[in-house]
Amino acid sequence: MKTTIHEYNGIQVTEFLSLPGGGVLIEEDDDFLDVMMICPGKRAILRREQISEDFFDLRTGLAGRILQKASIYRFYLGIVGDFDRIESSSLRDFIYESNRTGLVAFKKTVPEVLELWNR
């Protein structure tokens, strides 16, 4: 697994660049705990394709469980990808509210995530 560390205002953000075989990093909520343990600055950026599609189907509860863990541990998660064509209104609302609070951020680019967290 390849990562890089971004630093801003003394805060470290771990960006996950690639996985062996291009696989999924988070398939269940316990995988999120593994991600948290790797990140020294309590902030991580993943690409959309590194997260199970179950996360984006709110009926599975995976997104809610991950958001709950992020909230409990005050861990910031940035998810980078194209979220403009989301058909599910509940997922669009979830993304909007997540971006508003900033704990879990859905943005197109890494700089957009870093900018949100730098406010």
Residue 92 clears pLDDT 70, i.e. is over it = yes
Q: What is the pLDDT of residue 18?
A: 77
Could you give the CA distance from residue 72 to residue 50 in angstroms, rounded to a whole number? 23
The model's pLDDT over 94-109, given as tens digits with 9 standing for 90+, comes to 999 999 999 999 999 9
* All structural domains of the chain with their residue ranges: 2-117
User: 2-117: which CATH number, 3.30.750, 3.40.50, 3.40.1570, 3.30.1360?
Assistant: 3.30.750
The edge-to-edge listing of strands for the beta sheet with 104-107 is 2-8, 11-18, 43-47, 76-80, 104-107
Q: What is the pLDDT of residue 20?
A: 65
